[in-house]
Amino acid sequence: MAEFRAVETDDDLTLLDTALRQLSADLGDPHSAGLDALRTGLTGAIPAAYGLLALEEDLIGAALFGPLFSTVRGAAGVYVSDLWVTEAARGQGLGRALLSQVARRAGMLWRAEWMMLAVYAHTPASRRFYERLGFEAQDQVTQMRLPQAAMRRLMGEDG
């Protein structure tokens, strides 16, 4: 039975970093968020994100999530930016259990009533997993991202 623990200590941050690096490798993504970035994002008076670890004797899963608010839904929600389960633990309900823990914690922390995440097109098994849990694709929505350099320009830092 997995133990779930919020990321609070430097040791926890190291475990979360390990999980997120493995997730990036699994997905073929570059990995830019090292320990300093995680420490900055997950600590302080108003954290930008929260981390959750799933442990047995070793790290077997992790989630990174944060708050959002929708005027369409009229309520706070939770965005799961990263969900990782070791290959050995997949298919045993750990992903669902992690998401359940995220939902409970987000509900307690900021009264989240709904959840959102993104799934890569090249990971159809992941999409099927989320659909089995009740997630619905948003076909009429295009997710857009403002890269760091453009964000700095918008903030007036680069001219």
Give the pLDDT of residue 158.
60
CA 153 to chain CA centroid, nearest Å: 27
- Ordered DSSP codes for 109-154: HH---EEEE---TT-HHHHHHHHHHT----TT-------HHHHHHH
Give the pLDDT of residue 159.
53
**CATH level 3 topology of 3-155:** Aminopeptidase (3.40.630)
Beta-bridged to residue 67, according to DSSP, are 78
Give the pLDDT of residue 1.
84
pTM of the model: 0.92
Handedness of CA 13, 5, 27, 77 (dihedral sign): negative
Going residue by residue through the chain (159 aa), what tens digit of pLDDT does each one get?
899 999 999 999 999 999 999 999 999 999 999 899 999 999 989 999 999 999 999 999 999 999 999 999 999 999 999 999 999 999 999 999 999 999 999 999 999 999 999 999 899 999 999 999 999 999 888 889 999 999 999 999 765
